[in-house]
């Protein structure tokens, strides 16, 4: 249940007194709440010196809060330092020597997803690509390559380059019918609206805290579907992957019966404080409210850019897009700095100008970005329209 209105929520982010911030796809804005959470960590350090029990407990609190936010059980969540860390742990636990050795990836993956699986080619993995057509990646592209040799299909939910959103429930149905696992990368979406990981049906999921979960770098989550946990023994491991890390055994390796078996070293404690601050703040507005606000702003911005005759790379259908809208520029890095000169924080990938929305943004932000883009239209590509 929401306890904060959208206006009260926005007021938690001081940057809006100085800037129009539309860069959550890169880094969420800093809230007073996350700042206070970090202070709580340093205060505990000052006050007690080495309160490890408290710090480990805080990480457990975070595990529980995150699990609830995606509709999972806490036992299905590993707290890891980065999405890469979670992907590596799963990849290291898989055996590519059997009939199923193919890893099928779409061309919209974030580089780290590709790099981890490419690194496993030396262990027998074979990468197969689901090819995109421009900024479109349909189910047919996956259907053409997922088969009885496919072990796993890592798939980003929203593409960091063009804002395209893949139909993960459909992909899961396709892959499971053909006996393959699905590994969702939800980094460009988690926190920007509700998510039900069970309804999506995926086997694994990674996401991290620094974007729409409005916290900071250094902490991320891996979800592993309960039925798979005890079938997997990662070779990328460490003492926090044990049944009881504080048993300090060095003569044997036991595997936690929960997803914490995919963790390795000392948890990122300061980041856990910050992440919990972010999740609590999101709870206080509510994911449904966040999702509706984001969708409204995305529609307002996307349709204004389209109507202005610019090349919008993000799909028009609400079901096929996330919180990020990408417009084609002739020189996107130059456009980013021109926008910065107008008080707008955005980002670019290639010649795509990225603008992304969260519940802290409002209609006035959208209109200011649209006006600035029109003023800088010499740096934007024009759509060729048939008459």
Ligand X SMILES: Cc1ncc(COP(=O)(O)O)c(C=O)c1O
Q: Which residue ranges make up the site for ligand X (CB under 6 A)? A: 82-84, 110, 112, 156, 160, 185, 187-188, 208, 220
When the beta carbons of 12 and 189 are compared against ligand X, the nearer one is 189
Q: How far is the CB of 291 from ligand X (least distance, A)?
A: 18
> CB-wise, 109 or 365, nearer to ligand X?
109
In angstroms, give the least distance from the CB of 200 to ligand X. 16
Taking the complex as a whole, the smallest distance from the CB of residue 303 to ligand X amounts, in Å, to: 25
- DSSP collapsed to 3 states, 62-89: HHHHHHHHHCCCHHHEEEECCHHHHHHH
**CA angle at 83 for the pair 192 and 24, rounded to the nearest 5°:** 30
The number of CA neighbours under 13 Å toward the Cβ of 321 is 25
Shortest spacing between CB 106 and ligand X, in angstroms: 12
Q: Which is nearer to ligand X, 84 or 264 (CB)?
A: 84
- Residue 222 vs 304, nearer CB to ligand X: 222
Question: Between 187 and 357, whose beta carbon lies closer to ligand X?
Answer: 187
Q: In the bound complex, what is the minimum distance in angstroms from residue 230's beta carbon to ligand X?
A: 25
Of residues 181 and 183, the one with the C-beta less far from ligand X? 183
**Rounded least distance, CB 83 to ligand X, Å:** 4
Biggest alpha carbon–alpha carbon distance for the chain: 75
Q: How far is the CB of 254 from ligand X (least distance, A)?
A: 27
- Beta carbon nearer to ligand X, 112 or 284: 112
CA distances from residue 384 to 54, 245, 312 in whole angstroms, order as listed: 60, 61, 12
């Amino acid at each position: 249940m929401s306890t904060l209105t959208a206006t009260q929520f926005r007021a938690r982010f001081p940057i809006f007194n100085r800037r129009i911030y539309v860069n959550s796809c890169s880094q969420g804005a800093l809230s007073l709440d996350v700042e206070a959470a970090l202070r709580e960590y340093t205060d505990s350090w000052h006050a007690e010196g080495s309160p490890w029990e408290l710090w480990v407990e805080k990480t457990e609190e975070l595990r529980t809060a995150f699990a609830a936010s995606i509709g999972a059980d806490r036992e299905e969540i590993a707290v890891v330092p980065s999405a890469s860390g979670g992907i590596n742990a799963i990849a290291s636990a898989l055996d590519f020597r059997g009939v199923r050795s193919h890893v099928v990836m779409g061309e919209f993956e974030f580089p780290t997803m590709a790099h981890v699986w490419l690194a496993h080619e030396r262990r027998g993995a074979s990468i197969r690509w689901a090819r995109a057509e421009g900024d479109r990646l349909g189910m047919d592209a996956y259907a053409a390559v997922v088969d009885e040799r496919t072990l796993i299909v890592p798939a980003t939910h929203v593409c960091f380059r063009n804002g395209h959103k893949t139909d993960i429930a459909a992909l899961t149905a396709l892959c499971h019918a053909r006996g393959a696992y699905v590994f969702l990368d939800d980094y460009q979406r988690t926190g920007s609206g509700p998510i039900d990981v069970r309804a999506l049906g995926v086997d694994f999921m990674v996401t991290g805290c620094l974007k729409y979960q409005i916290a900071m770098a250094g902490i991320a989550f891996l979800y592993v579907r309960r039925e798979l946990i005890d079938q997997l023994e990662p070779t990328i491991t460490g003492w926090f992957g044990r049944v009881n890390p504080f048993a300090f055994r060095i003569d044997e390796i036991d595997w936690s019966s929960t997803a914490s078996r995919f963790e390795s070293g000392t948890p990122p404690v300061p980041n856990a404080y910050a992440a919990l601050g972010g999740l609590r703040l999101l709870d206080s507005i509510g994911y449904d409210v966040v999702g509706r606000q984001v969708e409204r702003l995305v529609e307002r911005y996307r349709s204004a850019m389209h109507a202005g005759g610019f090349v919008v790379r993000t799909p028009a259908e609400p079901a096929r897009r996330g919180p990020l809208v990408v417009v084609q520029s002739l020189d996107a890095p130059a456009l980013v700095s021109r926008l910065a000169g107008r008080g707008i924080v955005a980002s670019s990938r290639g010649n795509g100008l990225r603008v992304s929305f969260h519940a802290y943004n409002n209609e006035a932000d959208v209109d200011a970005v649209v006006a600035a883009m029109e003023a800088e239209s010499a740096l934007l590509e024009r759509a060729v329209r048939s008459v």
